[in-house]
Amino acid sequence: MRLRNRVGLLLALLLAAGFCCPLLSYAPNRLLSGQGLYLASLPSAEAALLLAAALPLALAPWLRRSAGSQLLLLALCACLLGNGLLWVAGREAQRLAGGEDALARVAFGAGFWLLQLAAGLQLAEALRGLSPSPARRALLVCIACLPALAMLLDGALDQLALLREYRNYQDTFHLALLRHLQLVCCSVLPAALLGGALGLAAFRRPRVEAWLFPALNALQTVPSIALFALLIAPLAWLGRLWPQSGIAGVGLAPALTALTLYSLLPMAHGTLAALRQVPTAARDSARGIGMSPWQLLARVELPLALPVFLSGLRVTTVQAVGLAAVAALIGAGGFGAILFQGLSASAPDQTLLGVLPIALLAAACDAAFKIVISRMDHAAHD
């Protein structure tokens, strides 16, 4: 057979690697290394389900190019594989750790993650070929995740190590979610205002651009932990100077300051790019009817620049979601606190409990901004 899709071949190799690695890991407790559970050790019905879902994905590189029905079939098989893996993991966890031994742990193995990655990439590739709008793409992804959500709500996954860790840290998890959202919102909003003002100044005055972006680029190269450390002394001094302000060298103040500083470059650059793409004819027409500079900005430039500005805000928000995890090192909390506690205790499932929400939150923010930007683009063209 002739190879027709090199991307599909890479995904097929990823599938093969996933089935060669342990799908799950069984350990007597959360700290000991687990014993791998391979495909061959699963009940025949569960193994057959996974192989049946993976077979069309493995054959995809040799199939003829991309009719809509073929892409839809591949997307359905990817959903079946991803949700089937979760179902199998939940059943095995109930069988191995669902008895009286509350310390036993059944965790996801390397094969599980490789197969989930292959299924996710195949779903993304199929959706790319189907070319839905961002809103429909998000809707299809949500529909694909409905079986996993149903299993989660039904309790079918309760005996998995990750869910046991969640129950152990449930209150801490909810507080970490609120603090992570606080860190992101309270750093992105001032960065949007200040970065937008800096981008506008750079657009109006080329001399400002000449020194502004080299300075912001230099700031961006400073490692996050180093910037947190540099802020400890001046903020501690300010805290002693104004005790009622609540400012301290560790905690929320240095975290918000550092995250805001890191967010300035993408916001300023996005604002400058947004203003530069406004058509010159629109500006000339506005000036021709007697608009003042502020009227030109408010009524012409900002509405036309808003989609590109939101693209810069999207990048800034996703960046802040990831960087907020590091803020836990200076006592700011958030999901980073759970993550680093898991690393220090050599507890992989607790580490995942901190990592996965960060990744999901970043993906959700990215998808939400893409939907809004797409709607604005469609409205502008209608």
pLDDT of residue 12 exceeding 70: yes
Fold entry, domain 168-380: MetI-like fold (1.10.3720)
DSSP of 80-127, one letter per residue? Answer: HHHHHHHHHHHHHHHHHHSSS-TT-EEEE-HHHHHHHHHHHHHHHHHH
| Across 49-74, average pLDDT | 82
The residue with greater pLDDT, 37 or 63, is 37
* CA nearest neighbour of 270 among 309, 234, 296, 237: 309
Q: For position 115, what pLDDT does the model report?
A: 94
Amino acid 323 reads: L
Overall size of the chain counted in residues = 382
Domain boundaries, the chain: 6-159, 168-380
Amino acid 192 reads: A
Name the band, by pLDDT with cuts 50, 70 and 90, for residue 270: very high
| Across 235-257, average pLDDT | 80
Q: For position 354, what pLDDT does the model report?
A: 94
Phi first, then psi, for residue 278 (nearest 5°) are: -70, 130
* Pairwise CA distance, residues 223 & 365, whole Å: 24
| Across 12-34, average pLDDT | 86
DSSP secondary-structure letter at 64? P
Q: Where are the alpha helices (DSSP H) in the chain?
A: 6-20, 44-59, 68-97, 110-130, 134-154, 161-168, 170-204, 206-220, 224-241, 252-276, 280-288, 293-296, 302-323, 335-344, 348-381
The residue with greater pLDDT, 69 or 259, is 259
pLDDT of residue 382 exceeding 60: no
Name the band, by pLDDT with cuts 50, 70 and 90, for residue 319: very high
pLDDT of residue 7 exceeding 80: no
When mean pLDDT is compared over 55-59, 288-292, 366-370, the highest value belongs to 366-370
pLDDT of residue 339 exceeding 80: yes
The residue with greater pLDDT, 30 or 241, is 241
pLDDT of residue 57 exceeding 70: yes
Take residue 172 and report the two structure tokens written for it.
């801490």
Instruction: Kindly give, in sequence order, each residue whose CB lies less than 8 Å from that of residue 57, ignoring residues fewer than 6 positions away.
Output: 8, 11, 12, 15, 74, 77, 78, 81, 118, 119, 122
* CA nearest neighbour of 56 among 39, 40, 71, 38: 71
Residues of the chain above pLDDT 70, percent: 95
Among the ranges given (30-34, 160-164, 234-238, 367-371), the one the predictor scored with the smallest mean pLDDT: 30-34
Phi first, then psi, for residue 155 (nearest 5°) are: 90, 10
Predicted TM-score (pTM) above 0.95:
no
| Across 188-217, average pLDDT | 92
Q: For position 381, what pLDDT does the model report?
A: 59
pLDDT of residue 61 exceeding 80: no
